[in-house]
Structure 1
C-alpha cells in the first residue's frame, strides 16, 4: 500500500515537474531588454556591488502562485538557495500550505547550495542568474489512491 502510494506520488511529481519545465518559456526580462543592455547592467552591478549577485526572478508561465513584485534582486553571495527561497516566499506572500520550487537553468538546485556557486555555474551570458519559481498545493490535498 505504502509502496503503491509512493509510486503514484512519484509519477504525479514527474508529470508536474515536466509541465513546469515545458512552461518555462524564454525569460520575459530577456524579451524586454536586449543582450547588450542586460550585459552592461549586470557588469555595472557586479562592479558596484562586488559581494552581491544580480538575479532575475520570474514566475513559471502556468504556475498557480502569486506574481512577484519585482524581478531584479541583488543577492548576498553567501546566501543559501534555501534562504533565497524564503526571501521569495515573503515577497509573494505565499501562504504556509503552499509549496514553492525554484529552478535555475531548468534544474532544482540543492537548498544548501550557496548562491555564489550557483551563479558561477549557471549565470547567463548577460551576467544575470535567472531563477524561475513555481508552486502547488502541499501534498496533503492530493487524492492519489
Structure 2
C-alpha cells in the first residue's frame, strides 16, 4: 500500500461574514481554486503513473470516538475488495477486533465484496480521488 501526503483546506481558513455565512476574499478563492486544480492534476498524474491503483482519501467521521488514522491518502490496488481495505484501515488505526468499524462512500455503506475499482468508478470525486469516511458506529444509517 502506498501513502502520500494530503493538503487540506480547513473550514477555519475560509472565514465568516457578519451573518455567519462563509466569506472569502478573491485571493483566498484563488488559493482554494488552485488547490482544487492541484488535487485534480495530482490524481491524474497518479492514475497515469499507477494505472492499477486507486487514489483514496480516508477520513474519520466528525463525531466518531474511533482513533484517528495516521495516513489519509492511499494508493489502493484496483483489485482489492472493500473488505480488504477495511482491514487495512483497522490496522492503521490499531482498532481491536471486538470494536466495529464502518466505511462510508457518499454516506452509504459499500458492499464488502465490491472491488475498489468499481467503487472508484461509481463514486470518484471531480478531483479524481475516492473519498471514504470511517466511523465506529453506523452514523449515516444508509445501506
TM superposition score normalised by structure 1: 0.72
Q: Per-residue CA shift, 1:72-117, capped at 9, x if unaligned?
A: 0000000000000000000000011110000001110000000000
Q: How does 1:5-20 map to 2 (within 5 A)?
A: none
Q: Distance in 2 between matches of 1:51 and 1:41?
A: 16
Q: How does 1:81-92 map to 2 (within 5 A)?
A: 81-92=82-93
Q: How does 1:61-140 map to 2 (within 5 A)?
A: 61-136=62-137
Q: Corresponding residue for 2:50?
A: 49
Q: Distance in 1 between matches of 2:79 and 2:41?
A: 24
Q: Corresponding residue for 2:140?
A: none
Counterpart pick for 1:31 among 9, 19, 29 = 9
SS at match of 2:117: helix
Query: CA RMSD, aligned part only?
Result: 1.6
Question: Deviation above 3 Å: which 4+ runs of structure 1?
Answer: none
TM superposition score normalised by structure 2: 0.73
Q: Which has the higher helix share?
A: 1
Number of positions where the alignment pairs a residue of Structure 1 with one of Structure 2: 109
Q: Corresponding residue for 2:18?
A: none
Change (3 A) 1:36 1:46: same
Structure 1 unaligned runs (5+)? 1-27, 137-145
Q: Distance in 1 between matches of 2:7 and 2:49?
A: 21
Structure 2 unaligned runs (5+)? 1-5, 11-31, 138-143
